[in-house]
Structure 1
Amino acid sequence: MNTLYVFGQYAWLSMRAQLQYRSAFLVAAIGQFLSSGVEFFGMWALFDRFGDLQGWRFAQVAFFYAVINCIFAVADAVSSGFDQFGNVYVKTGEFDRILLRPRSPILQLAGHELALRRIGRLAQGLIVFIWASVSLQIDWTYTRAALLLWTCIGGVCFFVALFILRATLSFWSTETLELMNILSYGGLDAAQYPMSIYGAAFRKFFTFVVPLACISYFPLVRVLGVEDPLGSSPGFQVLAPGFGVLFLFVVVRVWQVGILHYTSTGS
């Protein structure tokens, strides 16, 4: 509880600082809203031209798009410190100061900046989510709503883990790691569509190595109430988001190993 209180204080101070420049905040948030809106317009254009995507209707794919964008917006908002870790903390030696404080480095980096501008992507995702839910006439029972919440928790843990993993690799390579951008931002783009449309090798990688499908495709198939073309069982679909939480625990252990290899700047 004390850790949550400290993080809450970090977040409150970050929000106050950003809201001192409200015009800049509004412009950034609107920019996020419009940029994600362009992505959705591209998706609409695809379905307007071809009608469906291997049997998936536009409203169903829009549901995937909306949920994964809301998940990513939350994860990205609390991971700003990890996203900038290599250039801001390792190269300058600022990470030394974090290590001297009697608090977890992960807590301090998570509280580095609560990126309020991500509310633009979140708002756009929520609008699409409401539209898709109404179009699909989803019956929101307590069970279905609980599964969606469980999916969001697993998804946020998964994307936060990717940002932490990128920061961890900075202990060995302080330059920008485009490979991790492929997994984080590229994973966001891939998860906006049903995993069944991709090739077998791609699906296996994003299920058994990097569990992207477990926090997006499998549980959302269950929420939509459609039969999975890949043949997954209902039980697995319900349990799948747990792999996102497990992935975070594994990455935190890797992070702790990375700290042992941190040698500072020598300045």
Structure 2
Amino acid sequence: MVSVSGVNVDEYWQKGFTIVRGVYSPAEIADFRKKALAEQGKHSGDLLSHPTLRSVVTDGRLLDVAKQILKRDDIVYYGDSAVAIREGAPGFHKDNADRTDPKAPDWKSDYTQIRFGIYLQDHHTHSGGLNVREGSHNLVNTTEGKVRQLRTKVGDLGVWSMRTSHSAAGTILRWPFNFVQPHYSEVKKYPKWLLAPKDGQRIALFSALGADDEHLDRYLEYMKSRAYVLPIWRASVWSPEAIAEAEASGLRLRNAPAEIIGVEGLGQNVDYKPIPY
């Protein structure tokens, strides 16, 4: 079994996010980047169905981190992953199903669905990474919590709760002001020479894993209501080889992409809309 060291479990639960340093080698990141670019415009499904990048899901590293954080073994992959070759638009938001109602099911217990981000370029001294708000995984609003940048080096793994308020296009300042981590709306007040540049084209691999519980069931119900999800899942066909690799690592699979086949009335919501409870 794969064992990942350096997982700060306490930080994850206290702040809503953490960085695991050096999970991947520079050579692995360069290989991921090459494969992502080679399939750009050719593959629109999830990572497990990706012809050359499914190892990100099946090699056991994400699974081991999830087990350490959640302190349980029933970790499920359900098709919520992507190769993202794009510049993200700023705007703090959450990824979970219940984003605005503190009485909704997502807020009744510790949240067990985790987002992983592997950034295929440096965001430790370069801009373009993720803005996160400390402690926002325990707050329904997206306006509270100190703004931090997920300052990943090449090879690091970013990990955050789907309840954590986050935003793309994080900007950091050049040394010696790089301890200041501005809200995206405040970036324009700084002179351009003070803004750290980006480290080339932004490419990231995102994947979700979580416990096999009521939070997972609700999240998948929500995902099936979103219009953008359906074309991704229709393009996500898991081969027998991919399934065998995932299961051999100890990962449980729930084939949500297959669950939408032939089902009418899904994908009605283009923008976020809460689901009933």
Q: Is TM more than 0.5 here? A: no
Q: Which has the larger share of strand?
A: 2
For Structure 1 versus Structure 2, the TM-score category normalised by the shorter chain is under 0.3
TM-score of the aligned structures, taking structure 2 as reference length: 0.27
TM-score of the aligned structures, taking structure 1 as reference length: 0.28
